[in-house]
């Protein structure tokens, strides 16, 4: 007599994805290792950036004791830390300047940027900093880049003489913060980089060989991307950039709300009902004396300076 082995019918991928989208990150990763069908659903969710709306954030940090290439991911939901081995260059020696959609944007000891997914260990190199006009490479006798010439000029003004900086020192002066956005129309990501001097704005799509300048305006502080339009806020107002076509269009959608700059941080967020809101946060300034000189800096800049030294 022949024995018939019945298999449990599999749920459709769409239903699995709806269920998996509700899971916390550690549970989602575990679910992806159960079987090939579940792994396919997990991979599709990861690739399209679909996740639970009220996802509990995880904290990413490094430590000397964990190792040069190990990042620690602390789950607030589970109150547990996971150790993740990531590819070179050393994650412990990189700066982190942004994160979203499961990616972190890092700056290595050569001041070059990478996207890193701590869960999958995937790493993507972003265009070189030398494709931005403020950074000029300096080569040694072998033809290798050994230093950078950092210009403090913008298209709007000439400020001071250039600085000659070691490879790892440029990131202290030049890099401010970066954002990554998922563009559903092309199924890929856009990285927007706010850099110094004076908060200038460039962007790149994955696979681009260079950064693209968005505007001659300065003092950009934050941005958000929706339906092909990048909404970027400066210290004085708000500008919308249409990135959906081959030529970038720009439009001022909110004029200056303040003529005073320097004591507040400006953010742009999307409200639950769909409107874009500006959020203004007073900065905490620190006054101190260093080497006999009075020094004033924001708390953010102070922490960055402490990390650098």
pTM score of the predicted model: 0.79
Cβ–Cβ under 8 Å, residues 278 and 257: yes
Mean pLDDT by 10 residues, the chain (309 residues): 59 84 82 86 71 72 91 90 92 93 93 93 95 95 95 71 91 94 86 92 94 86 88 80 77 66 75 82 66 54 37
- Asked if residue 43 is part of any domain, the answer here is yes
- Asked if residue 193 is part of any domain, the answer here is no
Which pairing describes strands 188-195 and 175-183: parallel, antiparallel, or unpaired? antiparallel
pLDDT of residue 307: 36
- Asked if residue 41 is part of any domain, the answer here is yes
pLDDT of residue 291: 55
Q: Structure tokens of 122?
A: 């995937």
User: Could you tell me the CA-to-CA distances from 225 to 1, 50, 177, 222 in Å, in that order?
Assistant: 64, 16, 15, 11
Any residues with CB less than 8 A from the CB of 308 and at least 6 apart, and which? 172
- Asked if residue 44 is part of any domain, the answer here is yes
Burial of 15 (0-12, 13-18, 19+ CB in 10 A): exposed
- Tokens 């549970």 belong to 27
- Asked if residue 245 is part of any domain, the answer here is no
Its domain, for residue 25, covers 13-48
- Asked if residue 156 is part of any domain, the answer here is no
- Asked if residue 32 is part of any domain, the answer here is yes
- Tokens 């000891």 belong to 109
Q: Is the dihedral of CA 153, 210, 97, 52 positive or negative?
A: positive
- Asked if residue 126 is part of any domain, the answer here is no
Query: Any idea what DSSP says for residue 219?
Result: -
Count of domains observed in the chain? 1
H or E element, residue 25: helix 25-31
pLDDT of residue 180: 95
């Amino acid at each position: 007599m022949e024995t018939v082995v019945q298999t449990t019918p599999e749920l459709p991928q769409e239903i699995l994805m709806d269920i998996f989208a509700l899971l916390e990150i550690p549970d989602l990763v575990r679910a992806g290792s159960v079987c090939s069908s579940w792994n396919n659903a997990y991979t599709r969710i990861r690739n399209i950036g679909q996740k639970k709306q009220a996802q509990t954030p995880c904290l990413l940090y490094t430590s000397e004791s964990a190792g040069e290439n190990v990042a620690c991911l602390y789950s607030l939901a589970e109150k547990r830390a996971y150790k993740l081995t990531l590819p070179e260059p050393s994650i412990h020696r990189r700066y982190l300047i942004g994160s979203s959609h499961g990616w972190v944007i890092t700056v290595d000891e050569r001041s070059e940027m990478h996207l890193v997914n701590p869960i999958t260990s995937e790493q993507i190199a972003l265009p070189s900093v030398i494709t931005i006009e403020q950074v000029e490479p300096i080569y040694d006798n072998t033809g290798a880049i050994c230093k950078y010439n950092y210009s403090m000029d913008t298209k709007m003004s000439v400020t001071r003489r250039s600085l000659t900086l070691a490879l790892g020192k440029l990131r202290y002066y030049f890099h401010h913060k970066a954002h990554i956005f998922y563009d559903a129309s092309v199924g890929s990501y856009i990285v927007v980089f706010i850099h110094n001097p004076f908060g200038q704005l460039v962007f790149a799509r994955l696979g681009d060989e260079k950064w693209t300048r968005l505007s001659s305006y300065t003092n950009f502080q934050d941005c958000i991307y929706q339906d092909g339009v990048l909404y970027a806020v400066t210290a004085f107002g708000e500008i919308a950039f249409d990135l959906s076509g081959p030529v970038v269009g720009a439009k001022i959608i909110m004029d200056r709300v303040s003529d005073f700059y320097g004591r507040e941080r400006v953010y742009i967020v999307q409200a639950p009902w769909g409107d874009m809101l500006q959020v203004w946060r007073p900065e905490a300034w620190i006054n101190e004396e260093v080497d006999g000189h009075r020094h004033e800096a924001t708390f953010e800049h102070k922490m960055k300076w402490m990390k650098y030294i």
